[in-house]
Amino acid sequence: MNRLSLLGISLLAIAACAPQPSPPPTVAATPAPGSPPNTTTFFDGTYAGSFVQGITPGSPTTQCPNIRVAPALTIRNGVARFDALNLTFQGYVTPQGELVMQSGGGETFEGHIDPYYVLKGRVTGNCIYDATWTRNTSPRV
């Protein structure tokens, strides 16, 4: 064998014996906010709508109807739901009171329930609305 071959074999042997980097540490998967494993029944109940404010007047092709009072909202087993403008919004409440709901039409509601069971949030889509709900005095549905 010539010197070049011996050098190449020696380098391969050294590389094979060199310590390999350790794999990255595994991180426990945490449930996504507003998902079935990350919900609570603490906020369950029926919420009466108390306020709606239209933020956008709509575009020339989309009219945003005036809504005076938010429709009733129900939270059962951590799943929140309300119907408005021929759409059904549904999503999960986190233990921190965060709520994100989607409609079948692609509209989104994002809000938060405070310690006094007042839910404030915003519906976004073709039209934008701010709304407020208050839980009825009987907490469970």
The Cα–Cα gap between 60 and 79 comes to 35
pLDDT in tens, the chain (141 residues): 555 554 445 544 554 555 555 554 443 444 445 677 789 999 999 999 988 888 876 566 677 888 888 999 999 999 999 998 889 999 999 999 999 999 988 899 999 999 999 999 999 988 899 999 999 976 555
* Fold assignment, 36-135: Lipocalin (2.40.128)
Give the model's pLDDT for residue 58: 57
How far is Cα of residue 84 from the mean position of the Cα atoms in its chain? 19
Looking at beta carbons, which pairs linking 57-61 to residues 24 or more positions away fall under 8 Å?
58/126, 58/127, 59/126
Could you tell me the maximum CA-CA distance found in the chain, to the nearest angstrom? 91
Give the model's pLDDT for residue 19: 59
Give the model's pLDDT for residue 54: 85
How far is Cα of residue 4 from the mean position of the Cα atoms in its chain? 62
Per the confidence metrics, is the pTM higher than 0.95?
A: no
